[in-house]
A and B are shown apart, each in its own frame.
Chain A
Amino acid sequence: MTWAELAPYLALVVVGFLPNEVWRMLGLVVVRGLRDDSELILLARAIATAILAGVVAKLIFFSTGALAAIPVWIRVGAALGGFFAFIAIRRSMLAGVLVGEGLLILGGLYFH
Chain B
Amino acid sequence: MAVLPSPEAGTTATILAGVRQAWSSVFVYVLIGTYVGVGALAHDFGFSFVWLALSTLIVWAAPAQVILISLLATGAAMIEIAVAVTLTAVRLLPMVVSLLPLMRTRETPTWRLLLPTHFTAISMWVECLRLLPSIPPAQRIAYANGMSFGLIAAAQIGGFVGFYLAARLPAVLAAALLFITPMSFLISVLRNSRETFEKLAFVLGLVIGPVLAYSAVNLDLMWTGLIGGLLAYGFHRLQRARQAS
**Cβ distance B48 to chain A, nearest Cβ, rounded Å:** 8
Chain A residues in 8 Å Cβ range of B232: 46, 49-50
Across the interface, name the chain B residue whose C-beta is closest to A63.
Answer: B178
B182 touches A60 (CB 8 A): yes
Number of chain A residues close to chain B: CB under 8 A: 73
B211-233: CB near A (< 8 Å → 1, else 0) gives 01110000011101111111011
Across the interface, name the chain A residue whose C-beta is closest to B40.
Answer: A66
A89-107: CB near B (< 8 Å → 1, else 0) gives 0010110110011001100
A93 touches B187 (CB 8 A): yes
B94 touches A45 (CB 8 A): yes
**Cβ distance A109 to chain B, nearest Cβ, rounded Å:** 6
Q: Does B78 touch A at the CB level, under 8 Å?
A: yes
Q: Does B197 touch A at the CB level, under 8 Å?
A: yes
Chain B residues in 8 Å Cβ range of A83: 186-187, 190
B122 touches A12 (CB 8 A): no
Which of A23, A51, A59 interacts with B224 by CB under 8 Å? A51
Residues B21-44 near A (CB distance < 8 A): 26, 29-30, 41
Chain B residues in 8 Å Cβ range of A42: 197, 233, 236
Chain A residues in 8 Å Cβ range of B187: 82-83, 86, 93, 96-97
* Number of A-B residue pairs having CB atoms within 8 Å of each other in the complex: 307
Within the assembled complex, what's the spacing in Å between the Cα atoms of A69 and B96?
35
Q: Does A88 touch B at the CB level, under 8 Å?
A: no
A32 touches B54 (CB 8 A): no
Given contacts A16-B64, A24-B120, A60-B182, contact A51 B236 (CB under 8 A): no
B183 touches A79 (CB 8 A): yes
Which of B100, B184, B204, B213 interacts with A27 by CB under 8 Å? B100
Within the assembled complex, what's the spacing in Å between the Cα atoms of A15 and B85?
7
Within the assembled complex, what's the spacing in Å between the Cα atoms of A50 and B212?
13
Interface size class of B (residues with CB under 8 A): 35 or more
**Cβ distance B114 to chain A, nearest Cβ, rounded Å:** 7
| Chain A binder among B144-152, B155-163, B167-175 | B167-175
A25-48: CB near B (< 8 Å → 1, else 0) gives 111101110100100111111111
Which of A47, A54, A63 interacts with B94 by CB under 8 Å? A47
Looking at chain B's contact residues, the main secondary structure is helix
Given contacts A11-B78, A37-B101, A63-B178, contact A51 B94 (CB under 8 A): yes
Chain A residues in 8 Å Cβ range of B177: 66
B233 touches A46 (CB 8 A): yes
Q: Does A61 touch B at the CB level, under 8 Å?
A: yes
Given contacts A16-B64, A50-B208, A53-B205, contact A45 B172 (CB under 8 A): no
Beyond A23-B86, A47-B225, A70-B175: 18 further Cβ-contacts under 8 Å? A9-B51, A12-B51, A14-B78, A16-B58, A21-B58, A45-B198, A46-B198, A47-B94, A48-B225, A49-B198, A53-B202, A58-B220, A66-B169, A78-B179, A83-B186, A93-B184, A108-B172, A112-B171
Name A residues whose Cβ lies closer than 8 Å to a Cβ of B: 8-9, 11-28, 30-32, 34, 37, 40-67, 69-70, 75, 78-79, 82-83, 86, 91, 93-94, 96-97, 100-101, 104-105, 108-109, 112
